[in-house]
Amino acid sequence: MSKPAYPLVNSKRLWQRHLDMARIGATPGGGVHRLALTPEDIEAHLLLVKWAGVHGFSTDLDAIGNMFIRRAGSDSSLAPVASGSHTDTQPLGGRFDGITGVLAAFEALETIHEAGIETRHPLETIIWNNEEGSRFIPACMGSAVYTGVEKLSDMLAREDKSGVTMGACVDALRQALPQAGSRELGAPIANFIETHIEQGIELETNGNTIGAVTGMQGYRRFQVHVIGEDAHSGTTPRARRKDAFAAASDMTHALRERLWDEDDEIRYTIGRFEVLPGGISVVPGRVNFCIDLRHHDEGILNDLGDAVPRVCKAHAGPCEIEITEFLRLPPMSFPEAMIAGVEKAARRNGFPHQRIYSYAGHDARHVARLCPAGMIFIPCWKGISHNESERAEPGDIAAAAQLITELLIDQAV
């Protein structure tokens, strides 16, 4: 089949769709609060399904609540060529993180459909469930289960702060979409490309519209429990104290020194730290904290991560410690053909572009285990993200949607 001319996306419609989605879970501060599979997030799914219905696109759900909007291809035996991202946000999050990738994908489907282009492969827009991980841990849950990184039964049993399980939320989504078909977990996908705001300042600084993403950092995450003994803060002398906070602060200080590098490439964060029982006059008998460690080099990440338990144990003083590594993902690279494909399409359209590394995690990381995957970054004002002030420009969003349209045509015709 000869390649059809590339149709142009409707940038006005695409921007309007962003405004319509931003109303669902809108906050007074101009952001969006739409945690995974809350009534607001389900409403966002339903709005997309409503738009899809106008063109006769079908909808499928899988067992972990990922949603697939499909435009049929001429050969139903072929796997879909897909694009997408997520609709959930961080608490008091922004209007672009996630949803831009969903709407750019959907705009591509509509544009191709309206141009009457027949593709051999089906085309899909995917909403991966619970990307943010702020209501249910871990992040990127939907894509992780789909690609076999996490176990379905474990993830369905995960509870939010009020004890609601992911399983109950997936049931609610299914009830809201009685007409949806079902998709097998792990069913083949031919290609996947995800648009996302950069969440950094590289594109903005360089004046580029498009980032062809080359890969993502690896992670290691640890949960540390420091166990001492509760005691009276007035009567207990130093020699008899088992002060869990004192031990934990020695550990975190030593870790900060061990995980310091001249080039500022190591990412070491303690974002959760709990002191118990939390009485002003009680020597704390318990501290729980989490370590998030990231690096782009697998060897370095291995060495640094292996040092974490050793450093913690060496600074435990009179306390006991339990340390568990609960997440370990190596750094990954997207296939060169996907990166070069994004660059080629950007060049063809005259969009200023560059290669860029992703310092944040995204669903495309997991999907890359299943099929050739890639990502397109667009600028994000001042790099501000996971924040109500998050901003992306309509022209940049349309540029990404244009590239997605062309890449889907290249891969699916």
Interacting residue ranges for Zn ion, rule: CB under 5 A? 97-98
The packing angle between helices 99-114 and 394-412, to 10°, is: 60
- Give the nearer residue to Zn ion in terms of CB position, either 392 or 409: 392
Q: Closest approach of Cβ 247 to Zn ion, in Å?
A: 36
Smallest distance, Å, CB 362 to Zn ion? 6
How are beta strands 210-216 and 353-358 bridged, if at all? Answer: parallel
Closer by beta carbon to Zn ion, 68 or else 128: 128
The H-or-E segment that residue 49 falls in is helix 39-54
Q: Which residues share a beta bridge with 376? A: 195, 212
Interatomic CA distance for residues 384 and 198, integer angstroms: 9
Helix H, strand E, coil C: the string for 360-409 is CCCHHHHHCCCCCEEEEEECCHHHCCCCCCCCCCHHHHHHHHHHHHHHHH
CB of 34 to Zn ion, least distance (A): 12
Query: Which lies closer to Zn ion via its Cβ, residue 130 or residue 209?
Result: 130
Spell 33-55 as b/e; 16+ CB within 10 A means b. bbbbbbebbbbbbebbbebbeee
> Measured from the CB atom, is 70 or 362 closer to Zn ion?
362
Which residues contact residue 409 at a Cβ distance below 8 angstroms, ignoring those fewer than 6 apart? 3, 4, 6, 112, 117, 119
Question: b/e for 106-134, b at 16 or more Cβ within 10 A?
Answer: bbbbbbbbeeebebbbbbbbbbbbbbbbb
Residue 202 or 325 having the CB closest to Zn ion? 202
In whole angstroms, the minimum distance from the beta carbon of 211 to Zn ion comes to 14
Residue 410: both structure tokens together: 């290249």
* Cβ-based nearer residue to Zn ion, 52 or 360: 360
Identify which of residues 62 and 97 has a Cβ nearer to Zn ion in the complex: 97
Report, in Å, the least distance between residue 392 CB and Zn ion.
12
Q: How far is the CB of 316 from Zn ion (least distance, A)?
A: 37
Q: How far is the CB of 245 from Zn ion (least distance, A)?
A: 34
Q: Do strands 286-295 and 218-227 pair parallel, antiparallel, or not at all (unpaired)?
A: antiparallel
Helix (H, G, I), strand (E, B) or coil at 349: helix
